[in-house]
């Protein structure tokens, strides 16, 4: 047998960066986690033990901090583009460079004070491959819940089905979304906000026959909200809330008391494109 190296990549993961902006009476804060991955011709490092083509991952970490000092880190898409192009130039053996950025939110609580924000996180992934540039934006952990306006009926049944039809149920989810830009928008922040707003507005107003139908409506609304978006991938876990049986205690339960569960859960996902 003659083993072959058919794929390889390397980089620096989970680079934590906090940048304080002190250019006015109200200080700003950017809290980011950055992942760097390079793919290319690094076979000699694996097969021959030669590191001549390897840019150390420690250098990648240092570069993140240096470029954060030399330039703005917001919008994160532009910071990711600067990082990706730098590493593509600094590492000649690279074929593609991917930068993943997660934004950890903080809320202003005074001129010099912040409090930790919600569990929702903004994301961006920038990939440079030769002259080609791909920018993907997104969000994680957007928790949403509706107490009415959601149904699930007429589904496939077999001998193991116990779920009853519901014409009005509680629906909860925690959205993960990733959308790819066909071209750079004029304003990265405005584009991200427009897509997020479309997702939230659709969830709150859509008369849902299933999580699948609501997901598709969210995707369609996102495309309509930002003409630069070419496609969007949405993942909606169904965070189940089970009505508690209070009859052993002589009590009724008119859709008021629920048991919230994390596992197991339904996972609904799809890609909606133009």
pLDDT category, 1, cuts 50, 70, 90?
Answer: confident
pLDDT, tens digit (0-9, with 9 covering 90-100), for 140-171? 999 999 999 999 999 999 999 999 999 999 99
CATH placement of domain 9-130: 3.10.270.10
What's the mean pLDDT when you consider all of the chain? 97
Strand, helix or coil for residue 168: coil
pLDDT of residue 115 exceeding 90, the answer is yes
103 pLDDT more than 90: yes
9-130 and 142-273 have identical folds = yes
pLDDT digits (tens, 9 = 90+) for 136-148: 999 999 999 999 9
What pLDDT, on a 0 to 100 scale, did the predictor assign at position 70?
Answer: 97
Average pLDDT over residues 237-251: 96
In the chain, where the domains are located:
9-130, 142-273
Q: Which CATH superfamily is domain 142-273 in?
A: Urate Oxidase; (3.10.270.10)
Percent of the chain with pLDDT over 70: 100
**Res. 27: pLDDT tops 90:** yes
How far apart are the C-alpha atoms of 167 and 208, rounded to whole Å?
10
Q: What is the mean pLDDT of residues 124-145?
A: 97
- Per-residue pLDDT tens digits for 55-83: 999 999 999 999 999 999 999 999 999 99
**Does 50 score more than 90 pLDDT?**
yes
The residues assigned a catalytic role are 12, 57, 240
Average pLDDT over residues 96-112: 96
- Asked if residues 240 and 266 have their Cβ atoms less than 8 Å apart, the reply is yes
Write b or e for each residue in 152-168: b if 16 or more Cβ atoms lie within 10 A of its Cβ, otherwise e.
Answer: beeeeeeeeeeeeeeee
Mean pLDDT on 263-273? 97
pLDDT at position 216 is 98
pLDDT in tens, 190-228: 999 999 999 999 999 999 999 999 999 999 999 999 999
Read off the tokens for 131.
Answer: 């002259």
Q: What distance in Å separates the CA atoms of residue 204 and residue 185, rounded to the nearest whole number? A: 26
DSSP 8-state class, residue 63: H
Residue 24 confidence (pLDDT) above 90 = no
């Amino acid at each position: 047998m003659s083993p072959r190296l058919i794929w390889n990549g390397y980089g620096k993961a989970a680079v934590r960066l906090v940048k304080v902006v002190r250019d006015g009476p109200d200080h700003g804060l950017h809290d980011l986690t950055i992942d760097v991955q390079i793919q290319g011709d690094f076979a000699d490092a694996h097969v021959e033990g030669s590191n001549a083509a390897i840019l150390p991952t420690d250098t990648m970490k240092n570069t993140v901090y240096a470029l954060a000092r030399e330039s703005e880190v917001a919008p994160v898409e532009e910071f990711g583009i600067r990082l990706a192009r730098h590493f593509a130039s600094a590492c000649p053996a690279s074929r593609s460079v991917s930068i993943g950025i997660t934004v950890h939110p903080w809320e202003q609580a005074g001129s010099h004070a912040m409090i930790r924000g919600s569990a929702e996180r903004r994301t961006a992934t920038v990939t440079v491959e030769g002259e080609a540039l791909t920018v993907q934006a997104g969000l994680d952990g957007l928790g949403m819940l509706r107490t009415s306006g959601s149904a699930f009926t007429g589904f496939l049944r077999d001998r193991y089905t116990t779920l009853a039809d519901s014409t009005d149920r509680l629906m909860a989810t925690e959205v993960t979304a990733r959308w790819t830009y066909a071209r750079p928008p004029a304003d990265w922040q405005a584009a991200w906000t427009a897509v997020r707003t479309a997702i939230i507005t659709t969830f709150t107003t859509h008369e849902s026959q299933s999580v699948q139908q609501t997901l598709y409506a969210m995707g369609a609304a996102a495309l309509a909200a930002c003409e630069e978006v070419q496609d969007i991938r949405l993942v909606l876990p169904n965070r189940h809330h089970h009505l508690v049986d209070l009859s052993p205690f002589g009590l009724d339960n008119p859709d008021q008391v629920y048991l919230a569960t994390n596992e197991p859960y339904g996972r609904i996902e799809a890609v909606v494109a133009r």
